[in-house]
Chains A and B, each alone.
Chain A
Amino acid sequence: MKLREFIVPEAIVPELSASNRDEALRELVLALSGAGAVSPAAVDPIVAALIAREQGGSTGFGKGVAVPHVKHAAVKKMAGTIGRTAAGIDFTALDHQPVYTIVLLLSPENQPQQHLQAMNVVFSNLQKDMFRRFLRQSTNRASILELLEEADLGK
């Protein structure tokens, strides 16, 4: 699987205006909704599910990245997006460090294999120091897309 198979380009937020976790989750889901990836009516329940998921265990897995994700009945087709914050956001990450890059993934309820494949490609790339560094330094949508394209080719 490739990143660009599920990352919705129009929903990428190069500079989040949110200053905390819950606002960031809402901003990214709204971006996905604005891009047509989820219906406007689904925004609230999905954000609530993402927050509940974080409360059950942070998806801030360390190294400045968080990967909030949820399987939800309101999601018809897997969709993801990326948000960046130069200031950093507290995600109660495992390493207690702020999060600068958020990769958000929404999956339908009945596709666990597809979900695991998407998580695989997200984390395979996030493991790479260069990918994380470039992602954190990419200040506009075009350069983020370029980075995703290179990552997909390299896989």
Chain B
Amino acid sequence: MPTASRDIIVSNSLGLHARPAMQFVDTANRFHSRVTVSKGGEEPYEADGKSVMQMIILAATQGTPLRINADGDDAEAAVNSLAQLFADKFGEE
């Protein structure tokens, strides 16, 4: 099974609050791959990238490094699309 992962940094000033979390999950759901997002540091956590609740629990503030992981036939495409959301700051500042 193909896997892909990408390291990104949360760059929008409000961080990964509910709206971006939902946007992430909506995008993740367009792919068959299993998607997880992991956070290291003092409170490591791995969120199911298709669960809004778990994505919000990441509490990823601006500047937080995260790793997007995908596992499945479309893993590479999923990671590309999801990383692009962070690059675009979810349409925020």
Contact = CB atoms under 8 A, between A and B. Distances in A.
Interface of A: 56-57, 59, 61-62, 67, 69, 94, 112-113, 115-117, 119-120, 123-124, 126-127
Contacts of B60: 116
Contacts of A120: 56-59
A63 to B, nearest CB: 8
B19 interface: yes
Enumerate the 6 nearest inter-chain pairs by beta-carbon distance, A residue then B residue, closest first. Answer: A120-B59, A116-B59, A112-B14, A123-B56, A123-B57, A123-B53
Contact of A112 (B17, B22, B58): B17
B57 A127 contact: yes
A62 to B, nearest CB: 8
Contacts of A115: 14, 17
Contacts of B4: none
Contacts of A61: 52-53
